[in-house]
Chains A and B, each alone.
Chain A
C-alpha cells in the first residue's frame, strides 16, 4: 500500500481558501528505464486520482509518466465544514491507493 503525506493547514475558517498538498510514494515508472541486468522495467504510473471532501469530489486528475516519481500535487478547495478529505488513486498495474485526513473548519 503506497504511503502518502497530506499537508493541510491545522484549521480553516468557513468559506476560507484551503491549500492542499499531497506527495504519494509511487515510482511512476516510465517503462523506458532499464534494471541493472539490462531488462526494461515495465511502465507503471498512477493514471487516475480523485480527491473528495465531505464526500464531494473537489479535485480529479489524469496523470501520466510525465509526472515525476513520488508525485506531488497542490490544489485549492473552499472550507465548508469539518470533514474528511480522502484521496483515491489507481495505477497501470490496477493497484489502488488511498489516503485520508481530517480538515478542521471553524465558523
Chain B
C-alpha cells in the first residue's frame, strides 16, 4: 500500500470516535470516506423507561441550499439484532434538516447518527441510552 493511502486510512480511522468507518454497515454508504464528529446532533433521552418506544430527533446544522444541504441521515443502533434503523432522505428542497421518530432499543446501547452532506462529507453524533427492563413480564 502506498504511503499516502496508508496515512489516508489512518486519518479515516482516527477521526471517527463514534463508529468505525470499516464497519460494514457504515462502509456500505460511506465507501470508506472519513466520518467526522460534528454538524449533526442526535437527541435521545439518556434513560429510557421502555425500549419499545424511545423518542429520537436528529438535527443537522445546514443552510439547506442547493449547493449546501443534507442528502441523508443514517441511524444505527449498535446492539440491536438489526443494527440499521432508518435512513432519512432530505435534499435541497427540505427547509430544515430535522427529523423525529420513535425507535426500538433492545437493551442499553449506543445509537449513532451519520449525516451525508451534498459535498460528499460525512458527520456523526452518538448517544448512549440506558434502557430499563420491565420488571413484570406479563406476556399478555
Query: A residues near B, CB below 8 A?
Result: 17, 28, 30, 32, 56-69, 71-78
Roughly how many angstroms separate A68 CA and B105 CA in the complex, as a whole number? Answer: 9
B residues in contact with A60, CB < 8 Å: 88-89
CB distance from A34 to the nearest CB of B (A): 9
B residues in contact with A77, CB < 8 Å: 93-95
B residues in contact with A76, CB < 8 Å: 94-96, 98
Roughly how many angstroms separate A60 CA and B93 CA in the complex, as a whole number? Answer: 12
Query: B residues near A, CB below 8 A?
Result: 52-54, 57, 75, 77, 80-91, 93-96, 98-105
Roughly how many angstroms separate A63 CA and B77 CA in the complex, as a whole number? Answer: 13
Determine if A75 and B99 form an interchain contact, defined as CB atoms under 8 angstroms apart.
yes
Roughly how many angstroms separate A65 CA and B77 CA in the complex, as a whole number? Answer: 11
A18, closest chain B residue (CB): B95
B residues in contact with A64, CB < 8 Å: 82, 84-86
A-B contact pairs, 11 of them (CB 8 A): A57-B91, A62-B87, A62-B89, A63-B86, A66-B77, A66-B86, A72-B100, A73-B100, A73-B101, A77-B93, A77-B94
CB distance from A53 to the nearest CB of B (A): 9
A residues in contact with B91, CB < 8 Å: 57
